[in-house]
Amino acid sequence: MNVFDAIKTFVDKIFRVPISFLDLAREKLQSAGLITRQGLNFSSYMSIFRDLPSSWQLVLSSLLLMTVLLASLVMFRVLMRLYFTVKSGVQWW
């Protein structure tokens, strides 16, 4: 066993735990990716509105879409306000 092999085994021993942790995290993320690729079936959630006429179903789906859009805009505004607050706070350091 020469010096190069000794150094290589030493470095491998040091980085074995972080590499195994990263491999485990990658496997978990890949398995989570399989679940998210399936998508959401909103018709099962909206099944309680199937008794309504189609025009009312369109109204409710439009309201739901509008609510999601407004919530995302509010979240964007909150995040931008937080960003500018942090930016102005860091500027004074």
DSSP three-state, residue 51: coil
Confidence at residue 36, expressed as pLDDT on a 0 to 100 scale: 61
- Quote the CA–CA distance of 10 and 4 in Å, as a whole number: 10
Confidence at residue 85, expressed as pLDDT on a 0 to 100 scale: 92
Residue type present at position 79: L
Query: pLDDT per position in the chain (93 positions), as tens?
Result: 688 888 888 888 888 888 898 899 998 888 876 666 666 677 777 778 888 888 888 898 899 899 999 999 999 999 999 999 998 888 766
Residue 23 falls in which region: left (phi positive, over 0), alpha (psi -120 to 50) or beta: alpha
